[in-house]
A and B are shown apart, each in its own frame.
Chain A
Amino acid sequence: MNVLVYLVPLALALGGIGLAAFLWAMRNGQFDDLEGAGWRVISDDDLPESKG
C-alpha cells in the first residue's frame, strides 16, 4: 500500500491541473464565443495576399 503515498497526491495533482486549466480558460473568456472560434480556424488571414 506504500504506492498510495505517491499515487493519491498524483491523482489529486492531475485533477487539480485540469481544474486550474478550466478556471484559467474561463477567466480568459474562452467560453464567451463558442461559435466564432470554429470559423476563425478556417479563415486564411495568415496567407500572403495573392493578386488575381
Chain B
Amino acid sequence: MSETQDFSIYVRHPAEGIAAMDLVVEGVHCGSCISTIEKGLSGERGIRGARVNLASKRVTVEWDEHTLAPAAILHRLEGLGYPAYPFATAKVDSVEALEEQRLLRCLGVAAFGAMNIMLISVSLWSGAARAEGFATRDFFHWLSALIALPIVAYAGRPFFDSALKAIKQHAFNMDVPITLGALLALLLSVVQTSKHEPEAYFDSAVMLLLFLLAGRYLDQRMRRQTRDVATNLAAIRAENAVKLIDGGEACEVPIAAISPGDLVLVRAGERVAVDGLVEEGRSEVDQSLVTGETAVTPVAAGSNVYAGTMNVTGALRVRVRRAATGTLLDEVNALLERAIEQRSSYVKLADRAARIYAPVVHLTALTTFLGWIAFGLNWQQALVIAITVLIITCPCALGLAVPAVQVVAASAMFRRGVLLNSGDALERLAEIDTVVFDKTGTLTLPKPILANKDDIAPEDLALAGTLALASKHPLAKAVAAAAGATTPSTAHEFPGQGVTMLHDGKRLKLGSVAFCQAEAEAVRVADAWPDASLIAFRGPKRVVVFAIRQARRADAREVVAVLLRAGLAVEILSGDRRSAVEGVARELSISRFNAGLNPAQKIARLKALRGMGHRVLMVGDGLNDAPALAAANVSISPISAAHLTQAQADAVFLGDPLAPVADAIFLARKAKRLMIENLWLSAIYNFIAVPIAIAGFATPLIAALAMSSSSILVTLNALRARAAKGAVR
C-alpha cells in the first residue's frame, strides 16, 4: 500500500510564496551536526535556508512553497542521520518566551540606569558635593532623577503590573511592598532634592529593581528551558494517524488534522489515536494506558475504541467519533480541571512571607512617624524618616530569597533528570509525608520482559525469537527482545491467535496457549508466575510456555527502602489485577496497596489520605492517573507517560531508574530549608538596618551597602542547593 504523509498543519507562511517549518531534531550535539544538517538541507532544490539552534535542538527550514512537500524535508533529514519531528509551538511557549525577552530587556535598561546613577552617587558619597558646593550636589541629584525616573517607569513594569493585578484580586504578593518601596523612594528623593536637602535615594530604587530583575530573569529562563525540553519530547512522541481518503488512499497525518467522521486505519501494533467506532476488522486492544489493566480486550466491527489504547493483533478501520479534541482524553481532562482547582489554594512560601512582612514593616514605619512627632519633630521631618524606614526595609533580599533557591535547585534537578513543570512544586514536594505509586510503567518499566528465561532451552528461545519478530503483539515483542532475534522469518500470522512457520519440515507455532495446545504446560507456568501473561511456543521437540511480566525498575527496591527510611509512608494504587499488584508490593516490601481501582476510586483514596492530614506525592504514568496526579498535593511522571499526564504532573523524570524521584524529594527538602534560611537572613538584616533607619541615621550610602550585601548573601546561600548529594547511587 503506497502511503503519503501530510504535515501541512505544521507549516507557517512567513512571507508570500515562502513556507517554513520548525522541527525538533534528535542527536544534534556539536558543530559538525550543525554544518551537516544546514549544508545537507541547503543543497536540496527549493530550500531557501535552514538554521539549526543547538541550544534548543531545533531546526527552522524555509522553502519555496509548492516546490516540495514538508514530508520530503523530514525524509531528507532522516537520510542525513537526524530523525526530525515537526511540532506546533504551543501558545504557552510563546507567552513564556515573550515574558523572558521582556525581563531581559528590563534588566538591560535597569543595568544601564544603575551604572550611570552609581557613577554619580559614588562621586557624591566620596565628597564631591562638599568640595564643590550645594549647587553641584543639587545638579547631581537632578541628573540622577533624570535617569532614574524613566528607568524605573520602564524597568519596574513587571513588578507594578503584578502588584496591581494582586491588589485587584484583593490578594497580596511580594510585588506590592516592592512597588511601594521603589515609588516612595523616588517620590521622597524628588521632594528632598527640590528642597535642596542632602539625601536622595534614586540609586536605591534603581538598584533594587536591578537585583530583583536579575533573579526573576534567571527564574524565567530556567522555566523556559525546562518547557523547551518537554516540548521537544512531546514532539518526538507526537502521534500520527493514517487517514483513509474516500475509503481508499491512505495518508499519514498528525492527529490534529483529523476531524470527526473521517475513516482511519489502525494497524496491528499501533496506538489508537482517536475515539471511534470500529467499522471493519477484528483485533485485540490493550487498554492499559486508559484503565491500568494489563489484560487485552477483543474488539470487532461495532465496538468502541478509545484514544490511547494499543491495537494488538489485527488491522482496524475506525470511523472517528471524536478526534484530538473531545476524546476520552478530554473527559479525563475535565476530571483534571476540577482536581486542579482544589490544589490552587496552596499559598507560596514567598507570598506567605510577604503577608507577614508587609504589615509589620508598614506598622513600624507608622510608629516611627508618630514616635518622632511625639518627640517634637515637625511632621515633614518625621515623614522623611518614616519613608527612609520603608526604603531600608525594601524587600530586596526577601524578593530574591525564594527565586534564587528555586533557580539553583531546579537546575540541580535538571542535571539529575528531573524536569520541574511548575514553580511552587519544589515547596509542595518538600512538604510531603506520603508517596503513592502507580504500578504499571512507574514502579515497573514501560515494556514487559520475559520472566522465566532461565527455565527455557536456548535453542527453543532462539527459534521462538525469530518467529516472534513476525508478530506485532507486545508479548511476542518481549520474546523477540529476550532472544535477541534480529532476522525475521517468513511466517504466517493468524490474527488474534498467533504466528506459524515451517522449520526443517516441521510446523512451529507461537501464540496463545490454546493456539499451541499448551494447556498442561501453561497451568504449571501460571502457578510459578501468577502475575505474568502467558504466550506459548510449539517447537520442534517440545512445547514451551513463556511467562511475560513487567519488570521492576532496577533500583525500585532501593528507592522505596530509602523513602521508607526517610520516614515517608509508601503506598501503591493500581488499576491492575490484585495478584499482579500484590507480587510487586511484596517484592518492594510495600505493605499498603490497593488494586483494581478506576480513576475515580484513586482520587477518592487520595482525598481520604489528604483528609487525614497527609501531604501526598503521586507518582504515576497512565492516562488513568492524570486526574489522580492532579488530586495529589504534588505529582511526578516518568517521561514514558502519556502526553497529557506529563502536562499535569508537577515534575517529569527521565530514564529507567526510579532514583530521580527520591532525589527530587530530598533536593526539594534541602531547597525548602535554604528558602527558609534565606527568609531568616533577610529578616535578620532588617533587625539590624531598621533601628538605624528609625533613629534617623540612614543615608543613601548605608541603604546601598545594606541592600547589596544582603542580596549577595542570600544568593550565595542559595548556591548551596547545587551541592546536594543524590539519595540513591
Contacts and interface: CB of A to CB of B under 8 A. Distances in A.
A15 B108 contact: no
Contacts of B108: 19, 22-23, 26
Given A1-B136, A26-B101, A36 B34 contact: yes
A43 B105 CA distance: 32
DSSP class of B's interface residues: helix, strand, loop or mixed? helix
Nearest to A18: B112
A39 B37 CA distance: 14
A32 B101 CA distance: 10
B53 interface: yes
Given A1-B132, A40-B31, A12 B104 contact: no
B2 interface: no
Given A8-B143, A43-B32, A19 B54 contact: no
A26 B105 CA distance: 8
B5 to A, nearest CB: 28
A39 B119 contact: no
A10 to B, nearest CB: 11
B39 A11 contact: no
Contacts of B132: 1
B112 A34 contact: no
Among A11, A31, A33, A42, find the residue whose CB has the most chain B CB atoms closer than 10 A.
A33
A45 B315 CA distance: 49
Contacts of A43: 31-32, 34-35
A23 B53 CA distance: 21
Interface in A1-52: 1, 4, 8, 11-12, 15-16, 18-19, 22-23, 26, 31-36, 38-40, 42-43, 45
Contacts, number: 53
Contacts of B52: 36
Contact of A33 (B56, B109, B143): B56
B645 to A, nearest CB: 30
Contact of B30 (A19, A26, A39): A39
A15 B143 CA distance: 14
Sort chain B's interface into a size bin: 20 to 34
B514 interface: no
Contacts of B115: 15
A9 to B, nearest CB: 10
B32 A33 contact: no
B457 interface: no
Nearest to B128: A1
B116 A12 contact: yes
A1 B129 CA distance: 11
B612 interface: no
B102 to A, nearest CB: 10
Interface in B281-311: none
B116 A26 contact: no
Interface string B74-112: 000000000000000000000000000100110011001
Contacts of A40: 31, 34
B160 to A, nearest CB: 21
Contacts of B116: 11-12, 15
Interface of B: 30-32, 34-35, 39, 52-56, 101, 104-105, 108-109, 112, 115-116, 119, 132, 136, 139, 143, 147
Interface of A: 1, 4, 8, 11-12, 15-16, 18-19, 22-23, 26, 31-36, 38-40, 42-43, 45
Q: Please provide the 9 A-B residue pairs with the shortest distance between their CB atoms, ordered closest to farther.
A: A39-B31, A36-B54, A19-B112, A33-B53, A35-B54, A43-B35, A35-B55, A22-B108, A33-B55
Given A8-B143, A15-B116, A33-B54, 12 more contacts: A4-B139, A12-B116, A15-B115, A23-B105, A26-B105, A26-B108, A31-B104, A34-B55, A36-B52, A39-B30, A42-B31, A43-B31
16 contacts: A1-B132, A15-B115, A19-B108, A19-B109, A23-B108, A32-B53, A32-B56, A33-B54, A33-B55, A35-B55, A36-B53, A39-B31, A40-B31, A42-B31, A43-B34, A45-B39
